[in-house]
Amino acid sequence: MNRYHPASDPDFMPKGMLQNVQWSRFSVVLRHTYENVPWYRQRMKEKGVTPNDIHSLDDLHKLPFIVKTDLRETYPYGMCAVPINEIVRFHASSGTTGKPIVVAYTKEDLDIWGEVVVRALTSYGVHEGDILQNAYGYGLFTGGLGLHFAERLGVAVVPISGGNTERQVMIMQDFGVTAASCTPSYFLHIIDKAQELGVDLRRLPIRVGIFGAEPWTEEMRKSIEANSGIRAYDIYGLTEIIGPGVAAECHCQNGLHVFEDHFYPEIIDSDTLEPVPDGEYGELVFTTLSKRAMPLVRYRTRDITKIFTEKCPCGRTIRRIERISHRSDDMFIIRGVNVFPSQIETALLAMEGVLPHYRITLTRVNGLDEVEVEVELMQEQFSDTVRSLETLQRDIRHRIEGMIGIRVKLTLVQQGTIPRSEGKAKRVFDKRV
């Protein structure tokens, strides 16, 4: 079992030492990738570079990027850098169309994954003796088996997976669960169900939530914390890099520390593909520094964030990224204006009486793009006078329009109208094509 010892935690390494670790790991990974993955050798040849041209991590920019379609085109084993008999696990990310992205792990890769998940849990204050209700989906998705590594911290894991929400509430109550992991949208559903069943989560021993796999806003965090009495923490990761545990918040809840001794982050401008300085927004790119089965060099995540330069009060010296509020491909363009769903979520959840359940539908009427936002209201709002409902509707609409800069149609709906999700929530429905 991996027992946690802060003294040996690279989260707290002096900077120079961390850079040495990063470089010594990367130089091995680069050679390993070049020698064992023909796709990489070919791409590097096209760029006119070999591992001999890379003398430090400052030379990373000389290397080509890799994107999701490259992984899809080499499906299923084209990116594997080890023989199949060294692989002990596969995961895959579903994707909406075509073949999935397949990721392979050696036994040592699983140990790295376990290590970063344990570090994340520790930074949320989860410890031996806790009982974790793991409601991320088990299977090819990395959420379930990823958070299952909590066992290595001495945590008792309830591998309940997603779904059957009534049973989730029962088990949370009966087992004395102290921590839960799932998507933030699914936890909202659990909160609703508990309320419906007359169970007050604030009176249960549960104190920590481990939420990720989809964007969520600070307003959503406040809503979850107020309605469940837990502390809600962000965990970030992606199948291609390892799964959950690439970066995680600490108790300061202000940015996610990247476990950069294993996953080296860069932020690039998605148009010019040039690195941007720390503190500026751009697309997050990762290079895996220690994985053997499927190392990735300069993988473009499409996730938009920035790297923090300020020291974190928690004392960790590894860098932080701002929470991922959106992906570059989440953005929709309405009448020439770029809009992110997270902007609408922020505007909605700042209003009294609004519930954190909403849906955005894009349509084209007579050649003109329209945005409709449906949002649930607390029941008591509907029993108020029609006049105050109209005022509320106008106020919410103005707030959204002020945030995104275009007119929207706003529909207020009763609690429970918008379908709930058990995994990653789908909130935008683009019916323009």
Instruction: Check binding of 324 to ligand DLL (CB under 6 A).
Output: yes
Nearest distance in Å: CB 8, ligand DLL:
25
How far is Cα 398 from Cα 382, in angstroms, rounded to an integer? Answer: 20
Question: Which of these ranges, 213-221, 337-345, 368-376, 389-397, lies near ligand DLL under the rule CB under 6 A?
Answer: 213-221
Bond from prior residue into 356 cis (ω within 30 degrees of 0): no
- Judged by CB under 6 A, the residue of 70, 234, 345, 370 near ligand DLL is 234
The alpha carbon of residue 381 and the mean position of all alpha carbons in its chain are separated, in whole angstroms, by: 33
Q: Record the tokens describing residue 324, joined without a space.
A: 């991922």
- Judged by CB under 6 A, the residue of 114, 162, 209, 237 near ligand DLL is 237
Instruction: Check binding of 327 to ligand DLL (CB under 6 A).
Output: yes
Instruction: Check binding of 301 to ligand DLL (CB under 6 A).
Output: yes
DSSP code of residue 70? H
Q: Which is nearer to ligand DLL, 30 or 235 (CB)?
A: 235
Segments in 53-136 forming alpha helices (H) = 68-73, 107-123
Task: Lay out the site mask for ligand DLL across 397-426 (x = CB under 6 A, - = otherwise).
Answer: ------------------------------
Nearest distance in Å: CB 133, ligand DLL:
14
Q: Which is nearer to ligand DLL, 111 or 214 (CB)?
A: 214
Q: Which is nearer to ligand DLL, 200 or 329 (CB)?
A: 329
Q: Which of 410, 371, 345 is nearest to 184 (CA)?
A: 345
Instruction: Check binding of 238 to ligand DLL (CB under 6 A).
Output: yes
Nearest distance in Å: CB 101, ligand DLL:
7
Q: Which are the contacts of 303, defined by CB distance < 8 A and separation ≥ 6?
A: 238, 283, 284, 324, 326, 327, 328
Instruction: Check binding of 207 to ligand DLL (CB under 6 A).
Output: no
Instruction: Check binding of 250 to ligand DLL (CB under 6 A).
Output: no
> Mind giving me the DSSP string for 390-402?
HHHHHHHHHHHHH
Instruction: Check binding of 218 to ligand DLL (CB under 6 A).
Output: no
Segments in 85-217 forming alpha helices (H) = 107-123, 142-147, 165-174, 184-196
Q: Which is nearer to ligand DLL, 303 or 376 (CB)?
A: 303
- Cα distances (angstroms) measured from residue 231 to each of 6, 155, 212, 226, 356: 22, 18, 14, 9, 17
Q: Which of 368, 375, 363 is nearest to 410 (CA)?
A: 375
Nearest distance in Å: CB 16, ligand DLL:
30
Contact 415, 378 (CB under 8 A): yes
Q: Which of 137, 195, 194 is nearest to 170 (CA)?
A: 194
Instruction: Check binding of 236 to ligand DLL (CB under 6 A).
Output: yes
Give how many residues touch ligand DLL by CB under 6 A.
21
Nearest distance in Å: CB 395, ligand DLL:
28
CB nearest ligand DLL: which residue? 212
Q: Which is nearer to ligand DLL, 30 or 112 (CB)?
A: 112
Contact 150, 387 (CB under 8 A): no
Task: Lay out the site mask for ligand DLL across 85-104 (x = CB under 6 A, - = otherwise).
Answer: --------x-----------
120-139 residues near ligand DLL, rule: CB under 6 A: 136
Q: Which is nearer to ligand DLL, 215 or 356 (CB)?
A: 215
- Judged by CB under 6 A, the residue of 126, 158, 201, 213 near ligand DLL is 213
How far is Cα 430 from Cα 60, in angstroms, rounded to an integer? Answer: 38
Sheet of strand 409-413, all strands in order from the earlier edge strand to the far edge:
409-413, 368-377, 354-365, 428-430
142-181 residues near ligand DLL, rule: CB under 6 A: 142-143, 146
Q: Which is nearer to ligand DLL, 236 or 340 (CB)?
A: 236
Pairing of strands 409-413, 263-268: unpaired
Nearest distance in Å: CB 181, ligand DLL:
7
Q: Which of 397, 411, 398 is nearest to 358 (CA)?
A: 411
- Judged by CB under 6 A, the residue of 162, 209, 244, 265 near ligand DLL is 244
Question: Which of these ranges, 38-46, 186-194, 230-238, 373-381, lies near ligand DLL under the rule CB under 6 A?
Answer: 230-238
Task: Lay out the site mask for ligand DLL across 367-396 (x = CB under 6 A, - = otherwise).
Answer: ------------------------------
How far is Cα 209 from Cα 423, in angstroms, rounded to an integer? Answer: 15
Nearest distance in Å: CB 136, ligand DLL:
5
Give Dmax over CA atoms of the chain in angstroms: 74
Q: Which of 114, 135, 117 is nearest to 126 (CA)?
A: 117
Residues that bind ligand DLL (CB under 6 A): 93, 136, 142-143, 146, 212-215, 234-239, 243-244, 301, 303, 324, 327
